[in-house]
Amino acid sequence: MLSVKQVEAAKPGAKLVKLSDGGGLQLWITPKGGRLWRLAYRHGGKQKVIALGTFPTVSLAEARQAAAQHKQTLADGRDPAVVRKVQKATTFNALADEYLAHLAKEGCTPATVEKNRWLLSFARAALGPRPIAKISAAEVLAVLEAVDTGGRRESARRARSTIGAVFRYAILKGWAEDDPTQALRGIFKHAPQHRAAITDPAAFGGLLRAIRGFDGQPTTRAALELAVLLAPRPGELRHAEWREFDLEGAVWQIPAGRMKMRRPHDTPLSRQAVAVLRDLHKLTGSGRLLFPSTRSAERPISENTMGAALRRMGYGKEEVCAHGLRASFSTLANESGKWHPDAIEQQLAHAHRNVVRRIYARGTYWDERTRLIQWWADECDRLRQGGEVVALRASA
């Protein structure tokens, strides 16, 4: 057997030199001085060699330990080289890459895939080479704490979720048995982000009159009117395509790739919304997008367009934003007492936090939502007219 001194003193020769430690473990000294650990073995009647690392990165004791593990694999009837290949394919990095490819294949937007790729980059250095089935919650926590320490708490929170998605994908593929990120849920809490919104009925009526009187781009006014009438997320509306709308059937079918929860979402259209869409079709119906940018018909209006229009009407950022129109709908619909809260949540495409309720609520309330969205459009008409001057008939 070799001693540490023999390994340290090993000199290169004109050709490859092999020093045996016994049991197939060898130290190969290259003509250039490299010292490589190798394990020679036989499997399936063939002579094979597997690399165990380089000295001094891998010590003599560590090389012996690795050789012993591979010999146990042989004793179990498996080829160490094949086992290693499989293990390499099931590292966190390998599963992360496979998960990202899966997202793209399922129709996620390139921006979403890149966002997930960026969040996973925080974990690749520490977790990447590790077999995914052996990664512990403590290892993931160390990664997230490093992100949080850098002043990026929201990134740490989102990274936990994305790393967890890779583990859950690995579970489905049979490469892991549990998701260690579940033990870390809630560890990086953040204050909820409140969107500026108008929820007073009279003030909201004033906003509706301001939108109706907006003298900017007609397409921007239409976008604001639909944002009010249908309460979608601004991104869902900005990227809307004409092929998603059935005006005769009064339905807007939003594809999963544009939804926050990555599930397709159908929303009923009120008579008022259909009227807005028919007028808008005269302006942009020859193209793909409802709201094309003025610079390119293949790009939608920017995320600031509706907000800028609200500022132009005199509303400050602290008063209302495009996303806040959803809060206006939610508040006034709930306060009316006419509608089941779950129907309102379904219209907003919110996922229930309670898993059981989420399962049973999926795909329900369509009839109620159809009545809800028409009531809301009629209510908006009523609120808009609330401040108009009505001529009084003179008394006889």
Q: Whats the size of the chain, residue-wise?
A: 396
State residue 394's pLDDT score.
Answer: 40
Catalytic residue among 326, 365, 369, 384: 326
Statement to judge: residues 225 and 159 lie in one domain: no
What do you get for the CA distance between the two ends of the chain, in Å?
Answer: 122
Residue 51 lies inside a defined structural domain of this protein:
yes
CATH number (domain holding residue 14): 3.30.160.390
Statement to judge: residues 294 and 325 lie in one domain: yes
Statement to judge: residues 215 and 124 lie in one domain: no
Residue 71 lies inside a defined structural domain of this protein:
yes
Statement to judge: residues 18 and 69 lie in one domain: yes
Q: How many domains does the chain have?
A: 3
Statement to judge: residues 248 and 367 lie in one domain: yes
Residue 250 lies inside a defined structural domain of this protein:
yes
Residues with Cβ < 8 Å from 56, sequence gap 6 or more? 8, 35
State residue 362's pLDDT score.
Answer: 45
CATH number (domain holding residue 216): 1.10.443.10
Q: Is 352 a catalytic residue?
A: no
State residue 173's pLDDT score.
Answer: 81
Statement to judge: residues 164 and 300 lie in one domain: no
Catalytic residue among 323, 365, 369, 384: 323
Question: Six-digit token pair at 342?
Answer: 């779950």
Could you tell me the pTM of the whole model?
0.51
Residue 16's domain comprises: 4-78
Statement to judge: residues 221 and 366 lie in one domain: yes
Q: Is 281 a catalytic residue?
A: no
Residue 29 lies inside a defined structural domain of this protein:
yes
Statement to judge: residues 225 and 357 lie in one domain: yes
Q: Is 393 a catalytic residue?
A: no
CATH number (domain holding residue 159): 1.10.150.130
pLDDT truncated to tens, each residue of the chain (396 aa)?
Answer: 889 999 898 899 999 999 999 999 999 999 999 999 999 999 988 999 998 888 988 899 999 998 998 999 899 899 988 887 776 678 999 999 999 999 998 888 888 899 999 999 999 999 999 999 889 999 999 999 998 887 788 888 899 999 999 999 988 887 888 899 988 888 876 545 556 888 899 999 999 999 999 999 999 999 999 999 999 988 889 999 999 999 999 999 988 777 765 678 889 999 999 999 999 999 999 999 999 988 888 899 988 899 999 999 998 888 888 888 989 999 999 998 998 888 888 888 875 444 334 434 445 588 999 999 999 999 999 999 974 433 333 433
Statement to judge: residues 247 and 369 lie in one domain: yes
Catalytic residue among 35, 158, 233, 384: 233
Q: Please identify, among 25, 48, 78, the residue that sits at the C-terminal boundary of a domain.
A: 78
Q: Is 315 a catalytic residue?
A: no
Statement to judge: residues 260 and 325 lie in one domain: yes
Statement to judge: residues 276 and 354 lie in one domain: yes
Q: Is 326 a catalytic residue?
A: yes
State residue 159's pLDDT score.
Answer: 92
State residue 262's pLDDT score.
Answer: 63
Residue 190 lies inside a defined structural domain of this protein:
no
Catalytic residue among 288, 360, 362, 382: 360
State residue 303's pLDDT score.
Answer: 83
Q: Please identify, among 78, 103, 123, the residue that sits at the C-terminal boundary of a domain.
A: 78
Residue 368 lies inside a defined structural domain of this protein:
yes
Residues with Cβ < 8 Å from 25, sequence gap 6 or more? 37, 38, 39, 52, 63, 64, 67
Statement to judge: residues 254 and 369 lie in one domain: yes
Q: Is 340 a catalytic residue?
A: no
Catalytic residue among 88, 260, 317, 358: 260
Judging by DSSP bridges, how do beta strands 245-246 and 25-29 pair with one another? unpaired
